[in-house]
Amino acid sequence: MIESFGILASMLEKVGLAALVILSYRAILRSRWPDLWAGPAIGVLFSLGAAITMIDPLVIGPGIVVDIRVVMVGLAALFGGLWAALIACVVAVAVRIFIGGAGVLPGTVSIVVAALIALAFVRIRGSRRDLGNLALLGLAISLSLSSVLLMPFDFVVNTAAKSLPALIVRNVLGTMILGYLLAMEERREAEHKTFKQLAERDALTGLSNRRALEVLERRNPNQETPELFCVIMFDLDHFKTVNDTHGHSCGDVVLARFAEIISRRIRGSDLVVRYGGEEFCVILNDALLSNAARIAEDIRGQLAAEDFANGVTVTVSAGVAQSSENEPSVYTVIKNADKALYEAKRNGRNRVEIHTE
C-alpha cells in the first residue's frame, strides 16, 4: 500500500514538471503557422514532454521504470490528431529503446498501444476537452498497462499487480490535470482572438475599423524607398436624411451593401476601413492615381444604380490621393484624400475628385 502511494506521489510530481509544456502549447496557439503544421508542432511538443518525464523516471525494479509517457502520447492524439500522436509515439519509443533495460519491450508496446487507443478514442468520442472526457481518456490509455504481461510471471504477480491501481490513477489524474490546463489555454486563446477581432472589425459591415490604419502605419515607416499607394475616401451623400426618413434599419442596409460593393471591386491585397459613421477609406497598394480614380468612379456608379427598398437611392462622393516619397505616411495621404472629398461635396456631390498640389 505504501509503495502504491509512493508511485502516485512521484507521478503527480512529474505531472507538475510536465505542466511546463503548457507554455510551449500557448506559443503554438498564438503562432501564425498554417493548420497543416499545427499537428506536427503539437506532436513535437508532447514528444519532448514524454522524453522529459522519461529522463528521471520512477524505478520499481531492475530496468523497470514508470512515468507519464502514455499520458503525453494520449494528449498528443487529443489535441493534435493523427500526426501529433504519430510523432509523439515514435519519439517516445526511440527514447525508451535508448534508455534500455529489461522493460524495453513492454515499455515500447505500452507506448504504441496508448497511441492507438487514444486515436480510436478521439475517433469515437471526438476532441472534447471537458474533465469527464479527459478522465475517460485516462482510463482508456490505462489499457496499455496490459503490456506488463510481457514481463516474467513472478514480477507481474509480486510487483506489477500491487502497483496497478496507482498506475491507473496516475494515468487518469495526469490526463485530467494536463488536459484541463491545456484546454484552459485553448479557451483563453479563443477568447483573445474573439476580442481582438471585435476590436479590429466593424460589427455591421464586417470591415476593418480605424485600428487597422494604425497597424498599417507601423508597417510602413519612413523608408528610403517607400512603396507607393493610393487612398480613396468615400462619404455617403445626405446619409442623415436616409436615416431620418426611412429609419436606421434602412441606413444599416445601405452601409452593409456599400461595404459589399467596395469589397467586390478591390483586390485582396487592398484594405477597406469603415472610417466613420458613413465614411469609408480604401487603401490601394501599388496603384496609380488614375487607376484609383477609375475604381472610385466604378464604385460610385454601382451605388448610384442600386435600388434599395421603397425606391430609396443613395449616392456617394469620393476623394482620391496618392502617396509620394516625400509623403509616405498613411495619415498624410488620407488627409489629402479627405481634402479632395470635400472638394467633391462642394462641387455638387455624387462625384470623384483627385487631390492635386
Residue with cell 507519464: 68
> Which architecture characterizes domain 211-354 according to CATH?
2-Layer Sandwich (3.30)
Calpha distance 6→111 (Å, rounded): 23
Identify the DSSP state of 222.
S
Residue intervals of the chain classified under CATH 1.10.1760 are 2-197
What separation in angstroms does the CA of 279 have from each of 74, 235, 239, 243, 259? 53, 5, 10, 15, 10
Beta strands per DSSP E along 62-174:
64-66
pLDDT at 5: 45
Give me the half-sphere count of Cα atoms (radius 13 Å) on the Cβ side of residue 183: 16
Other residues' Cβ atoms within 10 Å of the Cβ of residue 98: 10
Give me the half-sphere count of Cα atoms (radius 13 Å) on the Cβ side of residue 246: 18
**What residues pair up with 65 in beta bridges, in sequence order?**
59
Q: Is the dihedral of CA 288, 294, 295, 297 positive or negative?
A: positive
Reading the chain (357 residues) residue by residue, the pLDDT tens digits are: 444 544 444 554 555 555 566 667 767 776 665 555 677 888 888 888 788 777 665 555 554 455 678 888 999 899 888 989 999 999 989 988 888 777 788 888 989 999 999 999 999 988 888 889 999 999 999 888 888 777 776 666 666 666 777 788 888 888 888 888 888 888 887 766 655 555 567 778 888 877 777 767 765 555 554 578 899 999 999 999 988 888 888 989 999 999 999 999 988 888 898 988 899 999 998 888 999 999 999 999 999 998 887 778 899 999 999 988 777 788 889 999 999 999 999 999 999 999 987
Mutual angle of helices 69-99 and 35-55, in 10-degree steps:
60
Calpha distance 73→115 (Å, rounded): 6
pLDDT at 219: 59
Calpha distance 61→312 (Å, rounded): 85
**Judging by beta carbons within 10 Å of its beta carbon (0-12, 13-18, 19+), is residue 326 exposed, middle or buried?**
exposed
Helix, strand or coil, per DSSP, at residue 320: strand
Distance linking the first and last C-alpha atoms of the chain: 89
**What residues pair up with 232 in beta bridges, in sequence order?**
282, 320
pLDDT at 189: 75
Helix, strand or coil, per DSSP, at residue 151: coil
Residues 242, 252: contact at Cβ < 8 Å?
Answer: no
Give the phi and the psi of residue 284 in degrees, each rounded to 5: -105, 110
Calpha distance 242→221 (Å, rounded): 40
Q: Provide the pairing of β-strand 352-354 with 229-236.
A: unpaired
CATH topology of domain 2-197: Arp2/3 complex 21 kDa subunit ARPC3 (1.10.1760)
Calpha distance 8→12 (Å, rounded): 6
pLDDT at 304: 92
Give this prediction's pTM: 0.55
Residue intervals of the chain classified under CATH 3.30.70.270 are 211-354
pLDDT at 258: 92
pLDDT at 67: 67
Calpha distance 274→268 (Å, rounded): 16
Report the catalytic residues. 278
